[in-house]
Amino acid sequence: MRRRKFLKGAGAAAGAAIVAPTILSSRGARADTIKVGAMHDRTGSHGIYGKEMDDAIKFSIDEINASGGVLGQQLELIAFDTASNMQNYAQYSQRLATQERASVVFGGVSSASRETARPIFDRYKMLYFYNTFYEGGVCDKTVFVGGETPAQMIGPALDYSMKAFNAKKIYTMWADYNYGHICSQWFKKFTEANGGEVVATEFYPLDVTDFSTTITKIQEADPDMVMSGLVGGAHIGFYRQWPAAGMLGKIPLASTVFGPWEKSFLKAEEIEGIVSSFHYFQTMKSAANDDFVSRWHAKFGSDYAELGTLAVCTYNAPWLWKAAVEKAGTFDREPVIEALESGISVDGPGGRVSIDAKTHHNVMSTAIAEVRDGQFDIVKTNADVHPQDTAEVCDLIANPNQATQYIPEI
């Protein structure tokens, strides 16, 4: 990819009234425990994503404690339901930094929530892990990103889809916040690099539920493929209205977001053929994944909804932090960051993940799946995919004094 000009991104905005936090500990609070913070949207517009992330952080911390803790000390988890509310993110970030004095914080679901919390953690020099797939570009010495970037998921999935569907003209639709706007720019770049054309780009607020006008526009444009970057509970309406309009199977549909979270609300016949790409799908075949799913069901019940990459990327993060703390021999932030930058890796349910020192993002395998008979059928895998988009502009080894998000100017 060619080097691009980038602009500094802005933080995001406020939500509704602040709700009371839910605070849980993996063990009873003791003077010799190490406090670990977590903030996930278990409820609200992003609750369909945040619930499994909240459960995953609790599961991971419990397993770490059962294995002996970190440097012989147990972890005390302080977990908040941020309820998809930016005011909550601001309040709880401040609390974790000043009152609780957590050693590390894991959390954030939307990019808006990350950009609300990140400046607060920067101010107080807090170590922060963000584990959601996102638009890329975060370059921050105290932040580590465990989720996929566009170069790791959108690029490979687009390459597969354009070839599989012989697609040149693509109609795109996105959630109307920084994730959608930035990803749409990366998507346009990747499409043009593959010899294609984006014939339309539309953005939708998170509360939009009626897509009938959009479907009419798509029918009139007659593209070779539709790419959806729709997000959240309200936007699920599109995946019901698309087949209801007789469009399923007529124009191929791919998504940068669609996972088991949306799938659980829909019928198999409504989603046949949708293509998506992530680090992890529960349908992956491996001994490590089978063991992970078995342990998960033993804790949360066999009827737990299908897991996705959000759960696994969140689960992996505390183990990466634990490995770094034990290599550093201390919980102090600077030595732990240095250890994380040394090539720390863990073998997770989706395969090995390791930290890229320059960007503080994960290098990971990714998989492309197509929905068949209601299940994610893995059609292609890519090993050790680097966050090349962010690496184009971020080098925290050469220039560690950065705490920003770069946004592509296209």
Same domain flag for 191 and 204: yes
Is 377 part of any domain?
Answer: no
Residue type, 24: L
What's the rounded mean pLDDT across residues 368-389? Answer: 95
For residues 28 and 196, give the distance between their C-alpha atoms in angstroms, rounded to a whole number: 57
Q: What is the CATH number of the domain that holds 189?
A: 3.40.50.2300
Tens of pLDDT, residue by residue over 133-188, are 999 999 999 999 999 999 999 998 999 999 999 999 999 999 998 899 999 998 99
Asked if 50 and 194 sit in the same domain, the reply is: no
**How far apart are the C-alpha atoms of 152 and 313, rounded to whole Å?**
14
| Angle CA 199–200–203, to nearest 5 | 160
The amino acid at residue 129 is: F
Domain membership of residue 376 (yes or no) is: no
Rounded to whole angstroms, the Cα distance separating 372 from 109 reads 28
d(CA 103, CA 185): 36
**Secondary structure of residue 76 in the 3-state scheme:** strand
What per-residue confidence (pLDDT) applies to 409? 67
pLDDT, one tens digit per residue, over 120-130 is: 999 999 999 99
Which tokens hold the place of 228?
Answer: 């959806």
Inside any domain, residue 378:
no
Length of the chain as a residue count: 410
Answer for the pair 362, 356: CB distance below 8 angstroms, yes or no.
Answer: yes
pLDDT confidence of residue 31: 55
Output the pTM of the full model: 0.89
Closest CA to 402 of 146, 145, 105, 143: 143
The domain tally of the chain equals 2
Range in 34-43, 94-103, 253-262 with the lowest mean pLDDT:
253-262
